[in-house]
Amino acid sequence: MGEVDFHLECIDCGAEYQADQVIYSCRRCGGLLSVEYDLSRVEANLDESWRGRALSVWRYRELLPIREDEKIVSLGEGGTSLNRCLRLSEDLGLKDLYVKNEGENPTGSFKDRGMTVGVTKALELEMGRVACASTGNTSASLAAYAARAGLECIVLVPSGKVAYGKLTQAMIHGAKVIQIRGNFDDALGIITKICSSHPIYLLNSLNPFRLEGQKTVALEIRDQLGGGVPDKIVVPVGNAGNISAIWKAFRELRELGLIEDTPQMIGVQAEGAAPIADSLRRGLSKVEFVEEPETIATAIRIGSPVNWKKAVRAVRESGGLVEKVSDEEILKAQELIARLEGIFIEPASAASIAGLKKLVQRRLIDRDELVVCILTGHGLKDPGVVLERFPKPVEVEATEEDVVRAIMPTEREAMKITAS
Ligand code: F0G
């Protein structure tokens, strides 16, 4: 089967646009755009087609908005593992906890799912240059996919607030990296204006094609659970594109009759950058932005999430919520999952574990529920936060005796061992 027919649609006024236009917001009302498929015309048994293909973004080809297969730019994205976490479950007081480890993607974050589709779209639209604003991961991913496609890449990042691992990636892949003296929100405002008036393709999550790639994480989770759907999906929120994309996938699966129930979407923000969590808690109908966002989880250090409307809909329609967590809670969660499960994640990803812990304690997540946490990025992206937190490893002379002395338990530790 070929692709399902699709077009762009404004989520506010419903205006429709053909999908071969370079457009980032509704021309009529300025609203966010969404890719919409004519799902009623899907004839094939999608599950059967999918089953014959490897777990990856492109396994779900029929639900991706690309017309020319030969233009696909891929680095082997998706197909990340869904790990059942017995030790972490026990610690948190849950029975059925899984984590989807998106750090396994080619550039170490979930952004690759979006970029394989977004950069392919850039080729289809014959754009020679691509650009984004980024807290780090988007720029690393775009730089890699642009290199693979032979496109010029421009990235704007907030000066001094991007983890070194991510900055290094953007640099080595040959992107033009520009540090601005401002935050992510400033950078996004600037690059959106530039891309609207120059032949440069914007690949932030305002770009609805990119989000289509990101929705595949939900399709994979369903397949990895043998067709099942979690009760709750917990996901860190910054610009709020990912939570919206994941929800869209579940809506489409329901519309296609491939699932009956949908999960509740739980977003987690960092306390110093929690405009959605705070606004929902106050019962506001619009999200009030945070002027000067701050958090150790630099990936989600965002005060004006452009996709807030899509995210609030995802949360409302799914019966979910948005929680916020402190930097200390984030760092503790990062250490907890590293020690109990052997999975090293960056602070923004740990926000999902920290949020989960809080919600279990408040009994907003039940012990018996099937929960999936999305771990969005690899810990090696940002080793600095760990180096700052832990004492330097001991250093001894290069002799057997010195090493033995160093690994033997101290008297206090020995007493503890005997006592237990
Ligand atoms: N987790 C990580 C590791 C991220 O890099 C991001 C976003 C998020 C979560 C939040 O996702 O924005 O869709 O709500 N990083 C962007 C970037 C902003 O530029 O790399 P979101």
Element (H, E) at 384: helix 384-389
Q: Are strands 16-17 and 6-10 parallel, antiparallel or unpaired?
A: antiparallel
Ligand 1 atom nearest 240 alpha carbon: 14
Residue 297 CA to ligand 1 center (angstroms) comes to 10
Where do the structural domains in the chain lie, given as residue ranges? 82-108+211-386, 390-419
Please name the fold of domain 82-108+211-386. Rossmann fold (3.40.50)
Backbone angles phi, psi at 416, to 5 degrees: -65, -45
Residues 7, 181 contacting (CB under 8 angstroms)? no
User: From the CA of 233, how far away is ligand 1's center (Å)?
Assistant: 16
* Contact yes or no for 46/25 (Cβ under 8 A): no
- Which pLDDT tens digit goes with each residue over 349-361? 999 999 999 999 9
The CA-based angle 337-341-347, given to 5 degrees, is 25
DSSP secondary structure string for all residues of 295-330: -S-GGG--SS-TTHHHHHHHHHHHT-EEEEE-HHHH
Instruction: Give residue 394 CA to ligand 1 midpoint distance, Å.
Output: 35
CA separation (Å) from 92 to 25, 82, 267, 330, 409? Answer: 42, 18, 18, 15, 29
Please name which of 253, 264, 247 lies closest in space to residue 227, comparing C-alpha atoms: 253
DSSP string, 229-262: --SEEEEE-SSSHHHHHHHHHHHHHHHTTS-S--
Is the Cβ atom of 299 under 6 angstroms away from ligand 1? yes
**Can you tell me whether residue 374 is helix, strand or coil?**
strand
Does 107 sit in the ligand 1 pocket, CB within 6 Å?
A: no
State the residue for tokens 């979407």.
Answer: 265
Q: Is the CB of 242 under 6 A from ligand 1?
A: yes
Q: Which atom of ligand 1 is nearest to the CA of 133?
A: 19
Beta-carbon count within 10 A of 408 CB:
10
Q: Is 334 in the pocket of ligand 1 (CB under 6 A)?
A: no
* CA 288/CA 290 separation, integer angstroms: 7
Q: How far apart are alpha carbons 256 and 194 in whole angstroms?
A: 38
What is the pLDDT at residue 1? 41
Which atom belonging to ligand 1 lies closest to the Cα atom of 136?
20
- Can you give the pLDDT at residue 3? 58
89: Cβ below 6 Å to ligand 1? no
Sign of the dihedral through C-alpha 314, 291, 306, 210: negative
Name the amino acid, one letter, at 390. Answer: F
Nearest CA among 325, 27, 331 for reference residue 9: 27
Neighbouring CB atoms inside 10 A of 47's CB total 12
Residue owning the nearest CA to atom 4 of ligand 1: 299
**Best of 137, 205, 380 for a ligand 1 pocket test (most atoms within 8 Å of beta carbon):** 137
Residue-by-residue pLDDT tens, the chain, 420 positions: 455 899 999 999 999 999 999 999 999 999 999 999 999 888 779 999 999 999 999 999 999 999 999 999 999 999 999 999 999 999 999 999 999 999 999 999 999 999 999 999 999 999 999 999 999 999 999 999 999 999 999 999 999 999 999 999 999 999 999 999 999 999 999 999 999 999 999 999 999 999 999 999 999 999 999 999 999 999 999 999 999 999 999 999 999 999 999 999 999 999 999 999 999 999 999 999 999 999 999 999 999 999 999 999 999 999 999 999 999 999 999 999 999 999 999 999 999 999 999 999 999 999 999 999 999 999 999 999 999 999 999 999 999 999 999 998 777 777 776 666
pTM beyond 0.85: the answer is yes
Most informative mutation of 178, 246, 300 for ligand 1 (most atoms within 8 A of CB): 300
To test ligand 1's pocket by mutation, which of 161, 242, 296 has the most ligand atoms within 8 angstroms of CB? 242
Please check whether residue 301 is in contact with residue 270, taking contact to mean a CB–CB distance below 8 angstroms.
Answer: yes
pLDDT given at position 4: 81
3 state DSSP class of 413: helix
Helices 347-361 & 327-341 angle (0-180, nearest 10): 90
Distance from residue 203's CA to the centre of ligand 1 (Å): 13
Ligand 1 close to Cβ of residue 349 (< 6 A)? yes
Edge-first strand listing for the sheet containing 321-325: 82-84, 96-101, 370-375, 232-236, 264-270, 321-325
End-to-end CA distance of the chain: 63
Query: 3-state DSSP call for residue 265?
Result: strand
Where do we find the tokens 């010029």? 152
Rounded-to-integer distance, Cα 108 and Cα 140, Å: 9
Measured CA to CA, the distance from residue 319 to residue 178 in angstroms comes to 40
Among 274, 246, 300, which residue's Cα sits nearest to residue 136? 300
From 258, 267, 300, 260, select the one nearest 109 (Cα to Cα).
300
